[in-house]
Amino acid sequence: MTERWKPSATVTAIIEQGGKFLLVEEHTPEGLRLNNPAGHLDEGESLVEGCARETLEETMHLFTPTHLVGVYLSRFHRAALAAQAAEDITYLRFAFAGMLGPLQPGRQLDTGIVRTLWLSPDEIRASATRHRSPLVLQCMEDYVRGQRFPLALIHTDASVTARASYFISS
Protein backbone atom coordinates (compact mmCIF):
# COMPACT_ATOMS: atom_id res chain seq x y z
CA MET A 1 0.00 0.00 0.00
CA THR A 2 1.36 3.42 -0.88
CA GLU A 3 1.48 6.23 1.65
CA ARG A 4 -1.34 8.73 1.33
CA TRP A 5 -0.29 12.27 0.35
CA LYS A 6 -1.27 14.92 2.90
CA PRO A 7 -0.55 18.64 2.73
CA SER A 8 0.67 20.45 5.85
CA ALA A 9 -2.14 22.61 7.22
CA THR A 10 -0.94 26.03 8.33
CA VAL A 11 -2.57 29.20 9.63
CA THR A 12 -1.34 32.76 9.29
CA ALA A 13 -2.28 36.23 10.48
CA ILE A 14 -2.35 39.19 8.10
CA ILE A 15 -2.07 42.11 10.50
CA GLU A 16 -2.20 45.70 9.23
CA GLN A 17 -2.06 48.89 11.27
CA GLY A 18 -1.46 52.36 9.94
CA GLY A 19 -0.60 51.08 6.47
CA LYS A 20 2.09 48.66 7.71
CA PHE A 21 2.02 44.91 8.15
CA LEU A 22 3.37 42.89 11.06
CA LEU A 23 5.93 40.30 9.97
CA VAL A 24 8.38 38.11 11.81
CA GLU A 25 12.02 37.50 10.99
CA GLU A 26 12.95 33.90 11.63
CA HIS A 27 15.81 31.44 11.33
CA THR A 28 15.31 28.81 8.62
CA PRO A 29 17.70 26.33 6.99
CA GLU A 30 17.90 28.89 4.15
CA GLY A 31 18.94 31.68 6.55
CA LEU A 32 16.98 34.58 8.05
CA ARG A 33 13.60 34.90 6.35
CA LEU A 34 10.53 37.13 6.64
CA ASN A 35 7.13 35.58 7.23
CA ASN A 36 3.67 36.43 8.40
CA PRO A 37 3.04 35.20 11.93
CA ALA A 38 2.23 31.63 10.97
CA GLY A 39 2.52 27.99 11.88
CA HIS A 40 1.08 24.54 11.76
CA LEU A 41 -2.41 23.72 12.94
CA ASP A 42 -2.26 21.62 16.10
CA GLU A 43 -4.43 18.63 16.83
CA GLY A 44 -7.66 19.52 18.62
CA GLU A 45 -7.86 23.18 17.61
CA SER A 46 -9.95 25.06 15.08
CA LEU A 47 -8.34 27.13 12.34
CA VAL A 48 -9.23 30.34 14.18
CA GLU A 49 -7.80 29.03 17.47
CA GLY A 50 -4.62 27.92 15.71
CA CYS A 51 -4.13 31.32 14.13
CA ALA A 52 -4.59 33.11 17.45
CA ARG A 53 -2.16 30.72 19.17
CA GLU A 54 0.53 30.98 16.48
CA THR A 55 0.30 34.78 16.46
CA LEU A 56 0.72 34.91 20.24
CA GLU A 57 3.70 32.53 20.11
CA GLU A 58 5.46 34.41 17.32
CA THR A 59 4.66 38.04 18.23
CA MET A 60 3.78 37.96 21.97
CA HIS A 61 0.50 39.74 21.07
CA LEU A 62 -3.04 38.51 21.43
CA PHE A 63 -4.82 38.24 18.09
CA THR A 64 -8.50 37.86 17.30
CA PRO A 65 -9.22 36.64 13.75
CA THR A 66 -12.23 38.43 12.28
CA HIS A 67 -12.10 37.45 8.59
CA LEU A 68 -10.68 34.78 6.34
CA VAL A 69 -8.45 36.44 3.71
CA GLY A 70 -8.01 33.29 1.65
CA VAL A 71 -7.02 29.67 1.36
CA TYR A 72 -3.72 29.01 -0.41
CA LEU A 73 -1.84 25.99 -1.69
CA SER A 74 1.92 26.07 -2.32
CA ARG A 75 4.74 23.61 -2.72
CA PHE A 76 8.22 23.91 -1.24
CA HIS A 77 11.33 22.01 -2.29
CA ARG A 78 14.37 22.00 -0.02
CA ALA A 79 17.56 20.40 -1.25
CA ALA A 80 19.32 17.92 1.00
CA LEU A 81 21.65 19.55 3.51
CA ALA A 82 24.56 18.00 5.41
CA ALA A 83 22.44 16.56 8.20
CA GLN A 84 18.98 16.77 6.65
CA ALA A 85 17.26 14.88 3.84
CA ALA A 86 15.67 16.70 0.92
CA GLU A 87 12.09 17.83 1.49
CA ASP A 88 9.10 18.26 -0.80
CA ILE A 89 6.23 19.79 1.18
CA THR A 90 2.85 21.07 0.07
CA TYR A 91 1.32 23.67 2.36
CA LEU A 92 -2.39 24.38 2.70
CA ARG A 93 -2.48 27.86 4.25
CA PHE A 94 -5.49 29.56 5.83
CA ALA A 95 -4.86 33.30 6.13
CA PHE A 96 -6.83 35.45 8.57
CA ALA A 97 -7.19 39.18 9.13
CA GLY A 98 -8.17 40.45 12.52
CA MET A 99 -7.50 42.64 15.52
CA LEU A 100 -4.11 42.73 17.17
CA GLY A 101 -4.36 42.86 20.92
CA PRO A 102 -1.90 44.01 23.55
CA LEU A 103 1.62 42.70 24.01
CA GLN A 104 1.62 40.00 26.68
CA PRO A 105 4.28 40.79 29.29
CA GLY A 106 6.52 37.95 30.37
CA ARG A 107 6.23 36.03 27.10
CA GLN A 108 9.14 35.26 24.80
CA LEU A 109 9.19 34.94 21.04
CA ASP A 110 8.87 31.36 19.80
CA THR A 111 12.03 29.39 19.09
CA GLY A 112 13.58 30.58 15.84
CA ILE A 113 11.83 33.94 15.78
CA VAL A 114 14.42 36.74 15.91
CA ARG A 115 12.12 39.77 15.96
CA THR A 116 8.88 41.29 14.78
CA LEU A 117 8.80 44.21 12.39
CA TRP A 118 6.29 46.47 10.69
CA LEU A 119 6.71 46.94 6.93
CA SER A 120 4.78 48.87 4.31
CA PRO A 121 3.40 47.04 1.27
CA ASP A 122 6.23 48.50 -0.84
CA GLU A 123 8.84 47.28 1.66
CA ILE A 124 7.27 43.82 1.61
CA ARG A 125 7.29 43.76 -2.19
CA ALA A 126 10.92 44.91 -2.25
CA SER A 127 11.98 42.17 0.19
CA ALA A 128 10.40 39.25 -1.74
CA THR A 129 13.75 37.42 -2.05
CA ARG A 130 13.83 37.19 1.76
CA HIS A 131 10.30 35.79 2.16
CA ARG A 132 9.91 32.34 3.66
CA SER A 133 7.22 31.61 1.08
CA PRO A 134 5.67 33.33 -1.96
CA LEU A 135 2.46 33.32 0.08
CA VAL A 136 3.77 36.13 2.32
CA LEU A 137 3.36 38.55 -0.57
CA GLN A 138 0.24 36.93 -2.05
CA CYS A 139 -1.69 37.09 1.23
CA MET A 140 -0.72 40.74 1.76
CA GLU A 141 -1.73 41.66 -1.81
CA ASP A 142 -5.10 39.93 -1.39
CA TYR A 143 -5.65 41.81 1.87
CA VAL A 144 -4.70 45.15 0.26
CA ARG A 145 -7.24 44.45 -2.53
CA GLY A 146 -9.90 44.11 0.16
CA GLN A 147 -10.34 40.35 -0.02
CA ARG A 148 -12.20 39.27 3.14
CA PHE A 149 -14.61 36.44 3.83
CA PRO A 150 -16.77 35.93 6.93
CA LEU A 151 -15.56 33.40 9.48
CA ALA A 152 -18.95 31.71 9.13
CA LEU A 153 -17.48 30.23 5.95
CA ILE A 154 -15.45 27.91 8.21
CA HIS A 155 -17.03 25.13 10.24
CA THR A 156 -15.19 23.11 12.86
CA ASP A 157 -17.09 20.02 13.84
CA ALA A 158 -17.24 19.26 17.57
CA SER A 159 -15.37 16.01 16.89
CA VAL A 160 -12.19 18.06 16.35
CA THR A 161 -12.12 19.66 19.78
CA ALA A 162 -14.15 17.16 21.81
CA ARG A 163 -11.69 14.33 21.23
CA ALA A 164 -14.71 12.07 20.97
CA SER A 165 -14.27 8.39 20.32
CA TYR A 166 -15.91 7.00 17.22
CA PHE A 167 -15.38 3.37 18.15
CA ILE A 168 -18.36 1.34 19.24
CA SER A 169 -17.64 -0.57 22.39
CA SER A 170 -18.89 -4.12 22.59
In sequence order, the 6+-apart residues with CB closer than 8 A to the CB of 67 are 96, 97, 98, 148, 149, 150, 151
Within a domain: 123? yes
pTM (2 d.p.) = 0.89
169 pLDDT exceeds 90?
no
pLDDT of residue 5: 85
pLDDT of residue 170: 43
For the segment 68-118, what is each residue's pLDDT rounded down to a tens digit? 999 999 988 877 777 778 778 898 999 999 999 999 999 999 999 999 999
- Band the pLDDT of 164: cuts 50, 70, 90: very low
> What CATH number has the domain bearing residue 123?
3.90.79.10
pLDDT of residue 1: 60
Give the ranges where the chain is alpha helix by DSSP (H): 47-59, 121-126, 135-144, 158-162
For the segment 4-31, what is each residue's pLDDT rounded down to a tens digit? 888 999 999 999 999 999 999 999 988 9
Within a domain: 158? no
CB 74 within 8 A of CB 89: no
Structural domain count of the chain: 1
Within a domain: 163? no
Q: Which amino acid is at 17?
A: Q
pLDDT of residue 83: 78
Within a domain: 2? no
Angle CA(104)–CA(107)–CA(109) in degrees, nearest 5? 110
Percent of the chain with pLDDT over 90: 77
Domain holding 105, by residue range, is 8-153
Within a domain: 170? no
Within a domain: 165? no
Within a domain: 134? yes
Within a domain: 3? no
Mean pLDDT within 115-143: 97
pLDDT of residue 163: 55
